[in-house]
Structure 1
Amino acid sequence: MTNVRKEELYKSCKTYIDERLSRIQGRIASLQEALTSESKSSAGDKHETGRAMIQLEREKLGKQLAEVQLLQERFKKVPLQNKSDQVIQGSVVYTTKHHYYIGISAGEIIVAEERFYAIAPDTPMGKILMGKSIGEKISFNGTEFKIKKIE
């Protein structure tokens, strides 16, 4: 049986990805529309500069889109149901300092009035937590804390 908090954290991360993807796709569609209307204009150098700026923005958005799609693929590998005595991908980790969800980097998430930080296993904190067990002490940025619980 899955933990309700873990399900909520998982859903929040999925929503984070979906919203980010939707925003980028919307901006790409707007740029495409701007490029089309820019093509109908014939104002010489100004026209070419406008097209170049739109193209640069499209390239930037294309990179962001690729990043989000990669994030989506990585998130598909995060198990919703897992049980381990050690911190693994998909774990909810309670420490004496903060609480973490090991999945993707999606920032702060509040579930049942508790603050969690959604982090990826390859982030500095994720690397420190991965493989650790309940009771282990951890030091990060000069602060020492202890793992209280792993779900």
Structure 2
Amino acid sequence: MNEFKSKVYQTALRQLKEKEALLNEERKNMIESILEEEKNSAGDKYETSRETITQDLNTIEKQIKQSKLDLEELYRLQTIKDTPASVQEGALVRLGADWFLMAVSIGQVKIEDTKVFLMSKDSPLGELLIGKKKKDQVSFRGKIQLIEELI
């Protein structure tokens, strides 16, 4: 695997693991808050507070689940070693000055001074890029761009 592409994967995996650790810590704190509320409260105020915390906890649980799925997908895509002939999942693509990794939609990572945007094949730009080859052009948001590199 290309060294730059390997760094992109490692950085993205590290960021996802850090995010998951923060979410787990937040979940732990919320559970402690629920238990503390049980000791200190009674009545309507208690019920409202507990419901709010429970809803927040459910949101955190969903985020943790998605983070785990994103990690699994990145690990799976990282095993692809061959340089693809066309844009597909796992491909690293340069459009003009911008880099994109066709993986999971988690935003951007920074490798030294280079920003790489991680996006899903189902994103609007991802759908345009899938199947294209190096030197093909795509029109996105009224701007025509050339696929400069495909790794």
Give TM-score, length-normalised by structure 2.
0.89
8 Å contact kept, 2:92–2:100: yes
Residue identity matched to 1:76: Y
* Separation in structure 2 between the aligned mates of residue 17 and residue 148 of structure 1, nearest angstrom: 28
What is the Cα deviation at residue 144 of structure 1?
0.3
1:93 counterpart = 2:82: no
* Separation in structure 2 between the aligned mates of residue 131 and residue 92 of structure 1, nearest angstrom: 13
What is the Cα deviation at residue 73 of structure 1?
2.8
* Separation in structure 2 between the aligned mates of residue 127 and residue 16 of structure 1, nearest angstrom: 25
How many matched pairs? 150
Residue identity matched to 1:127: E
1:147 counterpart = 2:151: no
Structure-2 residue corresponding to 1:35: 34
Cα deviations by residue, 1:4-31 (Å, 9 ceiling, x for unpaired): 1101100111122212211111111000
Greater alpha carbon shift after TM alignment, 81-90 vs 124-133: 81-90
* Separation in structure 2 between the aligned mates of residue 72 and residue 109 of structure 1, nearest angstrom: 15
8 Å contact kept, 1:102–1:121: yes
8 Å contact kept, 1:82–1:91: no
* Separation in structure 2 between the aligned mates of residue 124 and residue 97 of structure 1, nearest angstrom: 19
Greater alpha carbon shift after TM alignment, 21-30 vs 105-114: 105-114
Structure 2, unmatched stretches of 5+, are none
Structure 1 vs Structure 2 CA RMSD: 1.6
What is the Cα deviation at residue 115 of structure 1?
2.4
What is the Cα deviation at residue 93 of structure 1?
0.9
What is the Cα deviation at residue 97 of structure 1?
4.7
* Separation in structure 2 between the aligned mates of residue 77 and residue 56 of structure 1, nearest angstrom: 32
8 Å contact kept, 1:13–1:104: no
SS of 1:78's partner is: helix
The 3 A distance-change label for structure 1 pair 131 and 38 is: same
8 Å contact kept, 1:94–1:149: yes
Residue identity matched to 1:119: M
Structure-2 residue corresponding to 1:19: 18
* Separation in structure 2 between the aligned mates of residue 29 and residue 119 of structure 1, nearest angstrom: 30
* Separation in structure 2 between the aligned mates of residue 141 and residue 34 of structure 1, nearest angstrom: 46
8 Å contact kept, 1:79–1:89: no
Stretches of 4+ moved more than 4 A in 1? none
